[in-house]
Amino acid sequence: MKKLLSIIMLFIGITSCTTENDIGTNQEGQRQKDLKSRDGINYGEMHNDILEIYYADYDYNSNDVSLMENAVEEYLIENESTVTFNDVKSSNSVLYYYSQKLYATAGNVNDIKNLFKEINEEGLSTQKAYDYSLELLEIFELYEGDVVTFTEKLNIYRIKVNSDSSIDGNLKNNLLKAVEIGEYSHMYWYEIVGIDANLDSNSANAANYGGKVDTRRIAVIAGGDVAGALTGIQSGLVGYASLVFGPWGGAIAMAGTAAVGSLNAARVLR
């Protein structure tokens, strides 16, 4: 009888250890998923996947920020993230406020630049972050739609950022990820959606985009997306989310704010 009890207790002990080990392994696996290396996340693909989710359900006339935020959440659910976009926004609603202010610019370049200036003057961004953000935005302002020249200018910018030893590693990585979003955003609007950058807003074909393609670059299209990412960087939301939730949190913050910025792109096309 004692021998039988010993066997039963041994079995229970082994089962208990196995279950605890499985739980520990699963928890660690999820932790590693949520704290995955920044280098393992393609921010551009993440951004475009969110846009695909949103525009599968809504057209360019939809302008509710909460609907785009829901698309970000849907993306995160599909990717089994334990961190939500709401977690990121709620972690510092003051910093997210600037992304909401970006939406009020309607993609107007001067208004976006003024917002960047406001963030800088309020001491939220360094001068380097401000200067590099303006420089990246101006690439979109001047060359958006010209795939060859745009790509060339973006590569020059990437090399410049990468080789600048005067900026800290976090800012450098964030700017390079913004470039990644910029590349994919440009691909989305000009190659997947197929906007004609040379389209005269008075031409018959302009009706396909609501007659609102602005060839004078008063408003940017793909640049609206990257402006969202740059706002997240300069306001400090990306850095704060990275601190609280790890690199995955920073990715959510940047891709999420870029998605909000993309609503301005749609407004230009209405």
DSSP collapsed to 3 states, 59-106: CCCCCCHHHHHHHHHHHHHHCCCCCCHHHHHHHCHHHHHHHHHHHCCC
Lowest mean per-residue pLDDT among 49-63, 103-117, 251-265: 49-63
pTM given for the model: 0.79
* pLDDT tens sequence across 144-192: 888 899 999 999 999 999 999 999 999 999 999 999 999 999 999 888 8
Q: Are 77 and 50 spatial neighbours (Cβ–Cβ below 8 Å)? A: no
Confidence class for position 215, pLDDT limits 50, 70, 90: very low
Q: Select the more confidently predicted residue: 194 or 144.
A: 144
